[in-house]
Structure 1
Amino acid sequence: MKPVNLLGMALLRLLAERPQHPYELRQRMRDEGLDRMIKVTHGALYYSVESLVKAELIAPVEVSRQGRRPERTVYEITDAGREVAGDRLRELLSTVAPEPTTYGAALAFLSLVPPTDAARRLELRAVLLEGELAAAGTRHDALIEQGVPPVALVEMRHHQAHLRADLELTRSIRDDIRSGRMSWEPVLGSADGSER
């Protein structure tokens, strides 16, 4: 069987808590911030649900209709789904895999622009990271106050740790550039020879 992707894992986790229909699953992913870590579109969600049904990891338990709304199928996780989810989680937790980032790639290309320009851009990034870190803390605290169990928010703590590390590195590189500890001749110049 093909390994369950991250969206499938999110659906299995939510369905392990209680049977739900896809719209409810998507809303819960938003409420818990899972959609910030796992890309979920309407089409991807329904495709994942269908794939999980075909693999017999979830099963429909009820179809209902309210007024003129379309039918809603409620799904529940199967015993096979619980087993596969547990096995896949154990694999994901114990495996270190490279996670390439756009920022990591941008740092590899730093020598393309003048150092003063890079320092200004890194300062802007630091400000944005500070805002994102504050917002993430507020979201986490609000979910705790709403009664969401801490185990359901561990990924938010992971995200916050990455933001803190990113902010620390960004400030450090910016400071190294400003102090002259890191300097270079830009590989590319702007069309008019000035810095942007």
Structure 2
Amino acid sequence: MTEQPAHAYDLAGRLRERCGRLPVTRSTVATLLKSMARSGLVAAREPGRVGNRPPRTVYETTAAGVADFHHRVESGLRDSPVASMDFVLAVGHAGVLPAERAALILEERAALLASSGSDPAQGALEAEYWRGMVAAEITWIRELARRIRDREVTWGAEPAMAGQANA
């Protein structure tokens, strides 16, 4: 749906293709779309029929949906825990943000992680592992921010979400 308006069957199929390990059903996607429509994040079109298939409701992202998605990506880049799937997902969608904005948020995250210096209350090996994970993430984030600023990273991979609500 970020690429183009779609119906639940189409979205479920795309999710299965892209996220093979994610258990996706059409009914779950349809329920989520209805909830998002009630929240104003997507808008439903009148059900349409293709051939002799049953009518299907197509949904498209609203301006509020685009803004909410951008906010969630920013929050994930800035606030998600170290080495978390939330951070990975935010990085995967960072291209919806302006390159400078994404680089700035990443640099702020790296600076915050570097200054926190707190270890979880664990034994020596666990604390050593955690320090290594945090250090690796800081290094990776700083390098990514530099690559974004130096235009070494292809940016804006999701043009429909980058500023077009109904594309």
Q: Which TM bucket (shorter chain)?
A: 0.3 to 0.5
For CA contacts below 8 A with separation 6 or more, give which structure has more relative contact order: 2
Q: Tell me which structure has the larger Cα radius of gyration.
A: 1
TM, length-normalised to structure 2: 0.45
TM, length-normalised to structure 1: 0.39
